[in-house]
Amino acid sequence: MKPWLAILLLMSLSSFAQETNAPSAPPAPCTNEKYRQFDFWIGEWNVTMNGKAAGTNTIRPIHNGCVLEENWKGAGGTNGSSYNIYDQSTGRWHQTWVDNSGTVLGLDGGIEDGRMVLTGETPSASGKTTQRITWTPNPDGTVRQLWESTEDGVTWSVMFDGLYEKVVAD
């Protein structure tokens, strides 16, 4: 075999080995479509309840789009924040809410019939109360947020029923 042919063959084999054994770059974090399921809630919002101003809410992606951060300013003085993330280890969405009244609420869930439904439990006089919050994207671009609670799992009480309307930039 000619020396130059041996070198060319060796270079080709070496290149092939590097290509087949080289680790592929890991996918960018949070690019799975499940991380985009709650994106309909992103934006600057005016929120009403029964036609009256309830507050304003800003929802924005942070941490390379892995987390949705919520900042609520209620018309009655309540202010709060939440962090929302798709947890790939459980296959569920998680929200942690905190506010200026000392409330801490942890919720988990996911998309059900096109709506984001998250539930969690809080302590109560009877032992525990189940909280359920449902966000429904409407065809006109608004979002309905319905917060309900139950102590017996049968009778649900409405805690908040708000309509989110996007703030239009001037």
Question: Which pLDDT tens digit goes with each residue over 40-70?
Answer: 999 999 999 999 999 999 999 999 999 999 9
**105-142 per-position pLDDT tens digit:** 999 999 999 999 999 999 887 789 999 999 999 999 99
pLDDT for res 21 = 58
Task: Please check whether residue 135 lies inside any domain of the structure.
Answer: yes
Q: Where are the alpha helices (DSSP H) in 108-160?
A: none
Task: Please check whether residue 87 lies inside any domain of the structure.
Answer: yes
Count the domains in the chain. Answer: 1
What's the CATH code of the domain at 128? 2.40.128.20
Task: Please check whether residue 15 lies inside any domain of the structure.
Answer: no
pLDDT for res 80 = 98
- This prediction has a pTM of 0.82
Task: Please check whether residue 58 lies inside any domain of the structure.
Answer: yes
Task: Please check whether residue 100 lies inside any domain of the structure.
Answer: yes
| Dist CA 163 CA 48 (whole Å) | 5
Contact call for residues 105 and 118 (beta carbons, < 8 A): no
Does 158 have pLDDT greater than 80? yes
The pLDDT confidence band at residue 149, using thresholds 50, 70 and 90, is very high
Task: Please check whether residue 8 lies inside any domain of the structure.
Answer: no
pLDDT for res 81 = 98
pLDDT for res 17 = 46
Domain of residue 60 covers 33-166
pLDDT for res 4 = 46
pLDDT for res 2 = 57
**1-29 per-position pLDDT tens digit:** 555 444 544 455 455 444 455 577 776 78
Residues 6+ apart with CB under 8 A from 132: 117, 118, 119, 147, 148, 149, 150, 156
Task: Please check whether residue 24 lies inside any domain of the structure.
Answer: no
Task: Please check whether residue 85 lies inside any domain of the structure.
Answer: yes
